A and B are shown apart, each in its own frame.
Chain A
Amino acid sequence: MPVFHRLPQAHRDEQIANIAEAARQIRIQDLKLVHYAGAGHIGGDLSAIDILATLYGAVLNVAPETVDDPERDRFILSKGHIAGALYTTLAAFGFLPVEELATFLKPLSRLNGHPNRNYVRGIEANTGPLGHGLPIAVGHALSAKLDVSRRRTYVLVGDGELQEGSNWEAMMAASHYELDRLTVIADRNRLQQGATVRETNDLEPLDQKATAFGFAVVEVNGHDHGELLDVLSSVPFRPGKPTFVIAHTHKGHPISFMSNNAAWHHKVPSAEQLELALDELAAADGRGGSA
């Protein structure tokens, strides 16, 4: 996998092409990662990779050289079970040696099944139990406000994860404290471990709920790099209000036999399935834009 650089100043088309190719390479690497480790959460990984690639490719002001800068933007991965996607993204943008990805889940590897900030530079919080990232993000956004800093806070939550009550506690506090440099991104793939979110404990009307909790709500195609780039780099949308981005995604995207299929929550692709998936991604080379 080549190493990508963030292109904050580039022309929008160039940024999008960079993000698209990074996302494609991250998917290829991540599929191999899960296949060779024999475990992982490939469905949720593939659902979120376009969001991760957009954040690291053009939105966050963080790069390997600025990973300890107090003024860096913070990205908190609340759905910590997609650690494989995060590690692969961090490797794609140079925070982590690409070759180290082969140690994922191996004994004593730094690449645990859930991210650990004490092992890997660039990780902001040790997540895994759901419903933890949003309160942490609110705390960081409060620290930025106290510092009168323009640094931003982004947190990615799963849609099933929003069933945890702690998220809603944190959302109340976020709007109460007018944390308009906080952005919550909901990976709205509509599937949780073994069933749809609707069948399990429905979130709808999610937009109205987030609005009622004091957020400016924006809906995007979570696989469209242009839409993601425009929205994530334009926050806040309403002064004084935190932003809630509903990113409509598909678990397993864009692999034909994984997409929107709950069975791929944490299923491991066989050698044959890996080959098929990689063939599909190879065919997508150069397509760019919305995957």
Chain B
Amino acid sequence: MTDTAPKLSIADRPRFDCRNAYVETLAELAHDNHRIVGVVNDSVGSSKLDAFKRAFPDRLINVGIAEQDMVGVAAGLANGGRIAFVSAASCFLTARALEQIKADVAYSNRNVKLCGMSPGMAYGELGPTHHSIEDIAWLRAIDNITIVVPADPIETAAAMRWAAEVEGPVFIRVSRMSVPEVYPEDYTFVPGKAVTLRDGGDVTLISNGTVLWRALVAAEQLDDEGISTRVISMPTVKPLDTEAVLRAARETAGIVTAEEATVAGAMGGAVAETVVQNHPTKMKILGVPEFAPTGSASFLLDRYGMSPEGIAEAARALIT
């Protein structure tokens, strides 16, 4: 796709906070479907939901700073036929209410949409208490929940529209760190399907969320060096598109995964589980290996080898 836009690198495009797409889409969905409600833990401002609250004052349930109650309440609203979009900082939503996510939402099979705001290391300098690098790994271990990590505002909106239509538990990460648009306006999110953004036969980069555009820039650099690089966007971490992964394992010499999440058991882990059991190949899992030191999200991604240069270097090292 980006092959047809040769000069302007994706790195030079304007950047967007995905929360804006989130709130605009939520308002649109709520306008069209009276069953949709928002549920928050005092996170009206941090979720940018002030306008939603003005438009639908009765349909924004604020339980206060009480995450366990928030997720249980969402499950109860679903019992009453509502579609609850829970909107809270991913670190508190997934850690504090993990048992409610498991029992009340996933195991009970309730129609609840868990929207993890400002995930990964978005809170940067606020430190690991406020980082949610673990959310994907934790939720991946739970049965019956779809996990989506959108890469830009277009995919965030598309994933939300899909989530509002489908019956059942969904977790969507909503990024705060600004990202360029990587998808065309008419992009349709297909759950469980990877999107090949660049084709290539030497090495594969698999990424999602805030790191995807960095992987695309890395691919530009590698292609310039004559390394034909495939870039697979993997918005759905669960269920994983294992076919796309295995095709990459068969057709290229190695796979680098890169994501704003822990190196233990997130998307990289899911890819590794697939590869090692079906078509072992060389892999490098880029992610966050520790409680991060003080720094902005961008600084920390670079530190953990997820600058475009870092990702390109990991790919080079893998196949040479």
Contacts and interface: CB of A to CB of B under 8 A. Distances in A.
B64 A132 contact: no
Contacts of B74: 139
* Majority SS at the chain A contact face: helix
A117 B144 CA distance: 15
A287 to B, nearest CB: 37
Interface string B33-60: 0000100000000000000000000110
Given A70-B81, A132-B104, A118 B109 contact: yes
**A-side interface size class:** 35 or more
Interface in B45-98: 58-59, 61, 63-64, 66, 68-82, 84
A100 interface: no
A193 B59 CA distance: 40
B146 interface: no
Interface in A122-159: 124-129, 131-132, 134-144, 146-147
Contacts of B63: 169, 173
B106 to A, nearest CB: 9
Interface string A155-172: 000000000011001101
Nearest to A127: B103
Contacts of B80: 70, 74, 139-140, 142-144, 146-147
Contacts of B210: none
A74 B79 contact: yes
Contact of B107 (A124, A126, A139, A176): A126
A53 B244 CA distance: 55
B58 A170 contact: no
Nearest to A177: B61
Nearest to B112: A139
A270 to B, nearest CB: 33
A146 to B, nearest CB: 6
Nearest to B66: A169
Interface residues of B, number: 30
A139 B77 contact: yes
B100 interface: yes
Nearest to B99: A129
Nearest to A70: B81
B68 A136 contact: no
A123 B72 CA distance: 16
B109 A136 contact: no
Chain B, interface SS category? helix
Interface string A96-130: 00000000000000000000111000001111110
Given A146-B37, A169-B63, A139 B103 contact: no
A166 B69 contact: yes
Given A70-B81, A142-B61, A170 B73 contact: yes
Given A127-B103, A146-B59, A172-B66, A135 B79 contact: no
Contact of B72 (A74, A117, A170): A170
A122 B143 CA distance: 23
B73 A136 contact: yes
A173 to B, nearest CB: 5
B72 A136 contact: yes
A177 to B, nearest CB: 8
Contacts of A117: 108-109
Contacts of A128: 103
Contacts of A147: 80-81
Nearest to B65: A169
Contact of B76 (A118, A126, A142, A176): A142
Residue from A116, A139, A144, A177 having most chain B Cβ neighbours under 10 A: A139
B77 to A, nearest CB: 4
Nearest to A133: B72
A272 B78 CA distance: 46
A173 B69 contact: yes
Given A118-B109, A172-B64, A132 B77 contact: no
Contacts of A127: 103
B82 A146 contact: yes
